[in-house]
A and B are shown apart, each in its own frame.
Chain A
């Protein structure tokens, strides 16, 4: 790992909630600029706690968090700087949307950045357009569906134009079509150079989508690897109570029966494997 290239870096971060619940217990991981990162882990593994550290909402009891090589400053100015570059999308949209109007909620962040009205208006329009909610800008928040609220939440973070976007289980509660929409938004952001970090329970999706996968268990990051290396960490996944991606198991079973497909590059989704099999038949 190249420490110099890390956009966000956790080193031995430990955090215990005031109630005594342990959140993180010496967690180290690095997010490199421009990459797509998936954070997987069972419920209670500390994903949300880790994310709140990324945005400076929580301050570690021990260990350090670095952003672009610099220690995070927890003073007013340091946090302002950090939060203007690291956007955080909460899991529950009703928790994130506190203004009653869509436009006002999306404008909240940019206005806090101290931008002028014209810039804010432009950013709000762009952000709402990016998530396909242009027609809803003057609607009250409570009249929206769950998926629409989620999109407004994303717009609210996008309007701040973060360098790193942290999404806490963005797919939870979305149907198949809405997941597709969200993925398109994320791909567009990635193409624009935004670094992405998302928590998910869907290991198949994580394997297909992410460049790097980080596995969290009991407040510790037990593995951080390129997705292509995940097949070699299968035992570790099972050890953490996580499932091994279906396509890895399928490929394994095929290989054991003398049916290896592709030339070295392993397919990262069932769809890709199906494509390879069809290709093989044609040739």
Chain B
């Protein structure tokens, strides 16, 4: 889990999540506000530079994390440029939208800017910090419990899946294409059963420590980091002002 690893090891790990979230929020608003593609790209680059230069997340890591969402974005953008029409007797025609490029660029660059802002938060702030922040912001507890549980289960199941895959590979489960499909099917089936059993085991574990369904948390103690917040806020305001100044 690349994102998770850097969230815990970057230079701004200890900085207050409030400050980091404020700056990221500034990036988001700027991404929506930036009209011109060039302005949106600037916002994207600024957020990426702060992540790479400020929090010292290596460029290669940033690119590796960004490549998947950028791929989705590319497919989404292409589908906006073409139009599929039904012509007459059931035949389809693929049509190039002549005025398609302008809005597509606008949308694409904005999306990249928003992605860059999100990556800033994700790569600098551990999810548990984000959840703690959301809790202080009074986000409904059920949602947060779900987030924490999913986060924890993600790692438990990745471990289980990896162990199963290794065991299958050790017995030549992935030696042929046919075998690969077969093994993957078995793995998925097995994982489904495991998810079911895990959930029951977790229920047991919670009950044994007097869990009754409600998940209680310790209140955060510690002073508000005013300096960090002021810095983040001014950065955010500058970004937003720039974006809205270039409509």
Q: Footprint of B on A, CB under 8 Å?
A: 52, 55, 57, 80, 83-84, 87-88, 90, 92, 94-101, 103-104, 107-109, 111-113, 117, 120-121, 124, 140-143, 156-157, 160
* Interface of chain A: mostly helix, strand, loop or mixed: helix
Complex alpha-carbon distance, A88 and B127, angstroms: 29
Q: Is the CB of B151 within 8 A of A117?
A: no
Interface residues of B (CB under 8 A from A): 4, 8, 126-128, 148-149, 151-152, 155-156, 159, 198, 201-202, 204-212, 215-219, 221
Residues of A within 8 A of B149 (CB): 98
**Would A95 and B201 count as touching, CB distance under 8 A?**
yes
CB atoms of A100 and B211 under 8 A apart:
no
- Interface of B (DSSP majority class): helix
Q: Give complex CA distance A113, B209 in Å.
A: 9
Contact indicator A99/B210 (Cβ below 8 Å): no
Cβ of B218 and Cβ of A103 under 8 Å apart?
yes
| Min distance, Cβ A17 to any Cβ of chain B, angstroms | 13
Q: Give the residue name and chain of the B residue nearest to A107 (CB).
A: B218
Q: Is the CB of A156 within 8 A of B128?
A: no
- Asked if A113 meets B210 with Cβ closer than 8 Å, knowing A140-B126, A142-B155, the reply is yes
Is the pair B127, A117 in contact by a Cβ cutoff of 8 Å? no
Q: A83-B208, A88-B208, A98-B205 are in contact. Are A142 and B152 (CB under 8 A)?
A: yes
Chain A residues, Cβ within 8 Å of B126:
140
A100 contact set on B, CB distance < 8 A: 127-128, 148, 151-152, 155
A74-B125 Cα distance, complex, nearest whole Å? 44
Contact count A vs B, C-beta below 8 Å: 87
Does A140 contact B210, Cβ atoms closer than 8 Å?
no
Chain A residues with CB below 8 A from B127, complex form = 100
Selected A-B contacts with CB under 8 Å, 25 pairs: A57-B204, A57-B207, A57-B208, A80-B210, A90-B205, A90-B208, A94-B156, A94-B159, A95-B198, A95-B202, A97-B152, A98-B149, A99-B152, A100-B151, A104-B128, A108-B211, A108-B216, A111-B218, A112-B210, A112-B211, A117-B219, A121-B218, A140-B126, A141-B152, A142-B156
CA–CA, A100 and B211, complex, Å: 16
Given A57-B204, A94-B156, A140-B126, are A107 and B217 neighbors across the interface (CB < 8 Å)? Answer: yes
A225 → B minimal CB distance (Å)? 29
Q: Which of A92, A96, A120, A124 has the most CB of B within 10 A?
A: A96
Minimum C-beta distance from B182 to chain A (A): 28
A residues in contact with B204, CB < 8 Å: 52, 57, 90, 95
Are A117 and B218 CB-contacts (below 8 A) given A98-B152, A100-B148? yes
Indicate whether A95 sits within 8 Å of B148 (C-beta atoms), given known contacts A100-B127, A104-B218. Answer: no
Q: Which residues of chain A are within 8 angstroms of B216 by Cβ–Cβ distance?
A: 107-108, 111-112
How far is B151's CA from A143's CA once the two chains are assembled, in angstroms?
13
User: Across the interface, do A101 and B210 meet the contact criterion of CB distance under 8 Å?
Assistant: no
In the bound complex, residues from chain B placing their C-beta under 8 Å from that of A103 are 218
* A120 nearest CB neighbor, chain B only: B218
Cross-chain contact A140 with B8 (CB below 8 angstroms): yes
